[in-house]
Amino acid sequence: MQAKFAGCSETPHTKRGIMMFIDSAKIHIKAGDGGTGAVSFRREKYVAAGGPDGGDGGRGGNVVFIADDNLSTLADYRYRKKFVAKNGEAGRGKRCSGKKGEDLVLYVPRGTLVKDVQSGRLLADISGDEPQIILRGGRGGWGNIHFATPTRQVPRFAKPGTPGMEADVQLELKLLADVGLIGFPNVGKSTLVSVVSEAKPNIADYHFTTLTPVLGVVQMSGGRSFVMADIPGLVEGAWKGVGLGHQFLRHVERCRLLLHIVDVSGSEGRDPKEDFQIINEELKKFNPDLAARPMLVAGNKCDLTDDAHIEEFRKFVEGQGYLFFPIMAPIREGVEPLLNQISEELSKLPPIRRYEPEPAPLAKPEEIPRGEVKITRQDGVFMVEAPWLLRVMQSVNFDDYESLQYFQRVLLETGVIDQLRKAGIQEGDTVSIYDVQFDFVE
């Protein structure tokens, strides 16, 4: 998938044909089901009792996310909402396993978070180059070769594959940038990005000219560089949806350093000091951590005011503990000292934040939603099928003793053991629950 631009917005701007930035989408994804195991027997000339030779089913395809630097929005996921990986193929005779289902690979912009809609749990942060498996395909069912024993020499059954995992997920793009430019509309953020990098944002003398975040790479001497992001649309009330800021404030969260640009001349009839306080308050309301983020302050449009106003604003800013840089962005006046200070500050700060996936919690047995349990008996093997139980098993590590104890408690407290007893199970009989098999012990 290659996307060069985003889809149309649902805001009033659509009427004017303006293309909007898509940084959030909800989709349904499903991994492939495992293939069914085969029931087969060797039939060769001069071989009286060849025995079972049914192969296992193939594993279902995984759902994999990969960062693609050619993508800048989630527009590909705005209208197509369902994505399903291929199922594994059924097993065959002569111990031949079925072919594994092809993985479903979804490409997203670098910096996309994948969250489970139901629980809100973070599944992955697609910020690196390595593919991220979000959902795993179901395991292939065992062929009848696995069920041969000295007392069961002709097993005429095999196991179906397990269903692939599925989920509704929220995709949320949080841009990866070292420096985030914040400030009211029309204070010169886009102009600054355009003169210090190769980025070419729209620039005009009216509010909300910039409708999408703009990234620019700033090259410094000595091979140093950093990424600067113009975050558009911040006005008073942005944190609760006023203007465009509520769409883009999330992109500030990864930035290591904030550069607050203020129209120090008050050319639009606003008070620079009040502007500065309003934007800082918006950051605090959206995410309190942003209020403590390192910040530099640039006073733009210095050519439209006098030195007394500039010095007054400098004292106001420095009195709050921030470094102040007067600039005239269009002609790069005062820009070099600002860039040098940004580079120096970044050298002291940790790398761009990456979010760690949240492990799936183990639900208490009494909290597990229950449903039908189907038990069938074939040649002394008690087959248990229960879709709700399969979801529990996907969060259990059967190689870990405590996790195995938890699963045994689930079987006991949800009534599965009682139903096995009603079906006539005896001590020593084999229980098969999807891809887990064990001997029943009272």
Tell me which residue of 187, 193, 268, 198 sits closest to 233, measured CA to CA: 187
Tokens of 294: 């390192």
Q: What is the pLDDT of residues 250-283, one digit of tens each?
A: 778 889 999 999 999 988 888 999 999 988 888 8
* Euclidean distance between CA atoms 377 and 420, whole angstroms: 10
> Is 338 a domain residue?
yes
Residues 6 or more apart in contact with residue 150 via CB below 8 angstroms: none
- 353 occurs within a structural domain: no
Say whether both 147 and 273 belong to one domain: no
CATH number at 19 reads 2.70.210.12
Does residue 358 sit within a domain? no
Q: Quote the longest CA-to-CA distance of the chain.
A: 107
Pair 143, 1: CB distance under 8 Å:
no
Number of domains within the chain: 3
Instruction: Indicate whether 240 and 376 sit together in one domain.
Output: no
CATH number where 217 lies:
3.40.50.300
Strand positions, DSSP E, 111-186: 112-116, 122-126, 132-135, 166-173, 179-182
**Residue 332: per-residue pLDDT:** 93
| Residues 79 and 23 grouped into a single domain | yes
Residues 195 and 133 in one domain: no
Residue 359 lies in a domain: no
Distance CA 162, CA 296 (A): 55
Same domain for 378 and 437?
yes
**Which domain-ending residue is among 319, 348, 377?**
348
Give CA–CA dist 310/264, Å, rounded: 7
pLDDT at position 201? 54
Which residue type occupies 298? A
Are 168 and 194 found together in one domain?
no
- CA-nearest of 411, 357, 394, 428 to 114 is 357
Same domain? For 167 and 220 the reply is no
278's tokens:
């309003």
Which of 112, 140, 173 is a domain's end point?
173
Q: Are residues 165 and 241 in the same domain?
A: no
CATH number of the domain at 402, please: 3.30.300.350
d(CA 263, CA 151): 87
Distance CA 423, CA 435 (A): 20
Looking at residue 325, its pLDDT comes to 97
Q: Are residues 163 and 220 in the same domain?
A: no
- Please check whether residue 21 is in contact with residue 246, taking contact to mean a CB–CB distance below 8 angstroms: no
pLDDT at 199: 66
Nearest-10 crossing angle of helices 307-318, 272-286: 30
Residue ranges for the chain with pLDDT beneath 70: 1-21, 45-49, 199-212, 233-248
pLDDT in tens, 10-25: 333 333 334 456 888 9
Residue bearing tokens 């420096």: 179
Both ends of the chain: CA-CA distance in Å? 55
Residue 357, helix vs strand vs coil? coil
CB atoms within 10 A of CB 293: 17
Domain enclosing residue 383, as ranges? 364-442
Cβ–Cβ < 8 Å for 156, 227: no
Task: Report pLDDT for 403.
Answer: 83
Per the domain annotation, does 397 fall within a domain?
Answer: yes
Residue 187 lies in a domain: yes
Distance CA 189, CA 251 (A): 15
Does 356 reside within a domain? no
Residues 167 and 183 in one domain: no
User: How far is Cα 160 from Cα 216, in angstroms, rounded to an integer?
Assistant: 53
User: Are residue 142 and residue 269 in the same domain, yes or no?
Assistant: no
Is the residue at 355 inside a domain? no
